[in-house]
Amino acid sequence: MIDEAKQAVAIDYVLGELSSTEAAAFERELATNQELRKFTKELRDGFASLALAAGAVRPPPDLFSRILAKTNSPKRSKIILVSFLPWAIAACLAIGLLILRAENSRIKTEVADLSRRDVLAHLQIASLQAQVNAYSKASAIVVWNAQRQTGLVRFQELPATEPGHDYQLWIIDPSEKAPISAGIVSVDSGNAATVEFRPAHPVTAAAKFAVSIEKAGGSTAPQGQIILVGQ
């Protein structure tokens, strides 16, 4: 139980009202007092929630490239360097393939590493890749919680569907005869989407995830073109 006096100190700490000496002393206490740490985390999360009261405004489109330029990201540096050379396209393709292979290998290693961590042991992370040229830039990452039977999928570079069609997410469960629908996906004007999903019925083992183009409103089984697949 955190007494009122300690609560007051925690509040002043979160609000930045403590002197540097007081803040340092409080941080030492936080390091050893789990209950106080939890209380302070909840205070900070509650205080930061006030940011949500401000209206969301999309920043200027070029701001992210300005940020990247200042971060000296190694990947960014490579892009700038090669973009002015006449053989850039061929070189980029070759580098891109190498990066993709390395990235794929790295993600697999990371996922294997993650699965060893208790906190994420019940999570499955899948990287979905394009199956058709028209969607070659599209990608998605799925985080699936088998225990809770819920997941989150994040799409990037996925163009809007033609009128009368929808993207539909599927879970391939080897114990089922047909893929299980995980719902319809709508992308925003930035060709991105983040969707929390629940499958139409319980999934025993999610072997793969796929995205197809279906008629508007979705289908009970995939009928349209499969554009993304991953495991």
Contacting residues toward other proteins, per CB under 8 A: 7-8, 11, 14-15, 17, 30, 37, 39-60, 63-64, 66-68, 70-71, 73-76, 110, 114, 119-120, 123, 125, 143, 145, 148, 150-152, 154, 156, 188-190, 192, 194-196
Q: Which is nearer to other proteins, 147 or 220 (CB)?
A: 147
Measured from the CB of residue 225, what is the shortest distance to other proteins in angstroms?
26
Contact status, residue 118 vs residue 201, Cβ threshold 8 Å = no
State both tokens at 180: 């299980």
Q: Which is nearer to other proteins, 193 or 200 (CB)?
A: 193
SS3 223: coil
Selection from 226, 230, 229, 231 nearest residue 167 by Cα: 226
Measured from the CB of residue 223, what is the shortest distance to other proteins in angstroms?
27
- Centroid of chain to Cα 45: 20
Q: Which is nearer to other proteins, 98 or 221 (CB)?
A: 98
Q: What is the DSSP string of 181-209?
A: EEEEE---TTS-EEEEE--SS--S---EE
Measured from the CB of residue 135, what is the shortest distance to other proteins in angstroms?
17
Q: Which is nearer to other proteins, 155 or 222 (CB)?
A: 155
Q: Tell me how far apart the alpha carbons of residues 177 and 139 are, in angstroms, rounded to a whole number.
A: 26
Q: Which is nearer to other proteins, 185 or 222 (CB)?
A: 185
State both tokens at 44: 């900070």
